[in-house]
Amino acid sequence: MPESERTGHARQLFSIWFAANIGVLGIVYGAIIVSFGMNAAQSLLAILVGSASFLLVGALSLAGRDGGAPMMTLSRKVFGIYGNLLPNVVGWFSLVGWETITVITGTLALQALFTLFWPGAPVTTMVVAMVLMMGCIIAASLLGQATLVVIQTGASFIFGFLTLVVAALLISHTHWRAEWVRPTGSWLRGFVPATSIVVAGTGLSWANAAADYSRYLRRDVSSWSIVAATTLGGAIPTIGLMVVGVLLASQVPSLASAANPIQVIRAVLPRWAAVPYLLTAAGGLVVEGDLSLYSSGLNLLTMFVPLARYKTVIIDAVIMAAGTVYVVLVRRAFLGPFESFIVLLGVGLASWAGVFGADQLAHRHDHPRYPTFMLVPSPSARTVYWPAVGCWILGTAVGLLFTSSPWFTGPLARGVFAGSGLELVGAFGSAGIGYWLIERRHAARAHGKMKRPIGVSGQ
């Protein structure tokens, strides 16, 4: 990116990530946490630990400032021009999947709103809600980034204020003594998998798009301000919404398993609060979906699919429509497909993030860290860097061994490890540590050769 276009400040990252995580899905996460049978203290700890995953987004955002390119373009330096295709495909499916989840959630929100006025036509209102939600996301994708930042900031304030109103309503009806005297749930089969789902659905889900927005920053923006703005921007709304979800699910246990959890949320609100809340909830999801749509287009370019913007939007729109129709009208269940999606793709993303983060750590003193010749096809660029690709495959395999979801169960996700939620830790740790050790060994060898006196044999 030309230096003349890099005029951004860290505070802009706060607005972007705050708006991207102010959607009503955070309340659903809170309900999922309660479904693992934990008490209030454990639930709060799971929320805090899971939301800390935005530190990963903040750390990876530094690559955008240093390299001035989208996230998966910078990933070519680590994996090679063609070796990067494997994690790139996983990242693209993840982004398109989140677009679909956003459309599904927005459709459910609008449908819950429409039933207040047209209660007798559920299928019709669902179809109208889906078309309207997709149309708004596609229209927003045609706007420039500066315009989106303004819209995101406004949506954040409005939806944030209404969320505080809903929280006040819930708190007034919460039986606090009953919340704190509930028995302690299982740490291995309750706390760990609940935290794992929060990590996969919050910070980790944005990891492969981190640099897409920090690449607009000036090179002199400090590292700590980038990490702090990104982490706080993502974590603050996530924590607040999940706490609301925990309170709500404690009063309405069916929230996590409901076919339309947004309808359940609407049912507990007075009419004067339900209408503006559902409207701004859908509006916030429009901006969130557009961020995923923007990054998925960049991912396609990195995968050597040089389509015009409108063509990538058409591809994504077809997938979003198909996924929404399946979940909303055919499957008529939200939680099962949702959990399976975030866990299975989370394994591949965790493995990629482990390798990329380890490369950042191992080469933190390199200048430049992301040379241009390594980011575009050229005779001097790496084609496939097998240590990175091998560690990514290893991490993904280790994660899948421990994966337990409605769609897939790994061979080690049974017995004592059944439902343990160790898939993300296994993927991230094995891939990251393995790659870091390899790069350390390469660096030690290179350092030894530099210190060897001229004329001395290497034997």
- Residue 324 forms part of a structural domain: yes
- Residue 285 forms part of a structural domain: yes
Residue type, 212: D
- Residue 352 confidence (pLDDT): 96
Kindly tell me the burial class for residue 216, based on how many C-beta atoms sit within 10 Å of its own C-beta (0-12, 13-18, 19 or more). Answer: buried
- Residue 455 confidence (pLDDT): 44
Beta strand segments in 25-156, E: none
- Residue 143 confidence (pLDDT): 67
Intra-chain end-to-end CA distance of the chain, in Å:
46
- What residues form DSSP beta bridges with 409? 404
**DSSP assignment of 370-398:** S-GGGTS--TTS-S--HHHHHHHHHHHHH
- Residue 265 forms part of a structural domain: yes
Q: Which domain holds residue 148?
A: 8-79+98-333
CATH number (domain holding residue 34): 1.10.4160.10
What is the rounded CA–CA span in Å between residue 166 and residue 232? Answer: 22
- Residue 283 forms part of a structural domain: yes
- Residue 2 confidence (pLDDT): 61
- Residue 343 forms part of a structural domain: no
Q: Which of 231, 365, 224, 294 is nearest to 72 (CA)?
A: 294
Task: Say what the alpha-carbon torsion angle 297, 299, 301, 305 is, to the nearest 10 degrees.
Answer: -90
- Residue 4 confidence (pLDDT): 62
**If you ran DSSP here, which 8-state letter would residue 327 be given?**
I
**Cβ-Cβ contacts under 8 Å for 362 (sequence gap 6 or more):** 435, 436, 439, 440, 443
Conformation bin of residue 421: beta by default, left when phi > 0, alpha when psi is -120 to 50:
left
Contact 21, 170 (CB under 8 A): no
Contact 24, 105 (CB under 8 A): yes
What is the rounded CA–CA span in Å between residue 309 and residue 311? Answer: 5
Q: Which residues of the chain have pLDDT under 70?
A: 1-5, 141-149, 151-153, 155-156, 170-171, 173-180, 256, 259, 332-337, 406, 415-421, 446-459
CA distances from 341 to 111, 206, 295, 334, 347 (A): 23, 14, 18, 11, 10
- Residue 364 forms part of a structural domain: no
- Residue 3 confidence (pLDDT): 62
What is the rounded CA–CA span in Å between residue 411 and residue 417? Answer: 10
The total of structural domains in the chain comes to 1
- Residue 202 forms part of a structural domain: yes
As a 3-state breakdown, the chain gives helix, strand, coil percent values, each rounded to 5, of 75, 0, 25
What is the rounded CA–CA span in Å between residue 223 and residue 59? Answer: 8
Q: How does 310-319 read in b/e, with b if 16+ C-beta sit within 10 Å?
A: eebbeebbeb
- Residue 412 forms part of a structural domain: no
